[in-house]
Amino acid sequence: MATQLWRTDGLMQQLTMRRIRSQLDREELLRVRRGVYADQPCGDDDELRALLLRLPEGAMLARQSAARRHGFGVLRDDLIHIQLPAEVPKPRLPGVVVHRTVLSTRPALVKGLPCVPAARCAVDLARVVRRLDALPVLDAALRAGAVSQDDLLAEVSGHAALRGVRQARHLVPLADSRAECRQESQLRLILLDAGLPPPEPQLWVTDRHGGFRYRLDLAYRERRVGIEYDGLSHLDRERLRYDRERVNWLDAAGWRMRYFTDRDLYCRPQYISATIRAALS
């Protein structure tokens, strides 16, 4: 059964404050947020509904909070991001970040929760997060099927003069739905920013019979140079055995593989670009 939520003013039309306190004591009512009560324990979505009941009309989930519900929440953030019209006073609530916007928009309902539409959400994030995180958001939005490239191009054209629009305008045409994780997108951006040719994401390498054998994170097909990001999953013993067999097969097939870790990605991007430039030349 769906959780029923009430604001204090609506509940007071049915019950006296004394009876409300009595039901709270007996746990027949539960306080979700100040001034909002429920008839049973709440899940995450119910808690967000309770928050929205406390906010002015027109409030909707935005940025990272909306991206998670649209299916492209690749950036971690424990805060709740809310968007309000520019003319609405900014409330102060713990754990909540309020963004005011001059761009009018109608909310998209996701599981009953009003969210900033997917294209607006993706472009908003691409404007304001650091460049290395912006392309992963756009890639993930395309991969999730939440937006199309045309949706992003149309959306970014409406953000003229807003903070960070130049970054978003540059990155939208580079977005690619084939990228499978944030680090793959970041590796690709480092290579593009270094002036290297665009690598092909998620390239399948075939055997002599034409069967799909191994898939590479990024690759230069004609030069037979492959690029892989090694995360924590590669530390597993069984995965290590698979990786060694894979490396040997690719080497025998004429592929020159280059592997990078989080240290390379976040501490020495120049090493990545120099290594790939040397492999291509």
Taking only the tens place, the pLDDT of each residue in 209-242 is: 878 888 999 999 999 999 999 876 656 777 778 8
* Closest among 166, 164, 171 to 140, alpha carbons compared: 171
Averaged pLDDT, 183-201 = 97
Helix/strand/coil for 157: helix
> Quick check: 187 pLDDT over 90?
yes
pLDDT tens digit string along 237-278?
Answer: 777 788 888 889 999 999 999 999 999 999 999 999 999 999
CA separation for the pair 81, 61 (Å, rounded): 6
Helix/strand/coil for 168: helix
pLDDT tens digit string along 104-140?
Answer: 888 999 988 999 999 999 999 999 999 999 999 999 9
What is 182-280's CATH superfamily?
VSR Endonuclease (3.40.960.10)
C-beta neighbour count of 85 within 10 angstroms: 15
pLDDT given for residue 101 in this prediction: 86
Residue 81 in contact with residue 99, Cβ under 8 Å?
A: yes
Domain positions in the chain are 5-54, 60-174, 182-280
pLDDT tens digit string along 2-60?
Answer: 565 545 655 555 555 666 666 555 565 565 566 666 666 666 777 788 778 778 888 99
- pTM (2 decimals)? 0.85
- What sign does the CA torsion over 43, 48, 49, 54 have? positive
pLDDT given for residue 276 in this prediction: 97
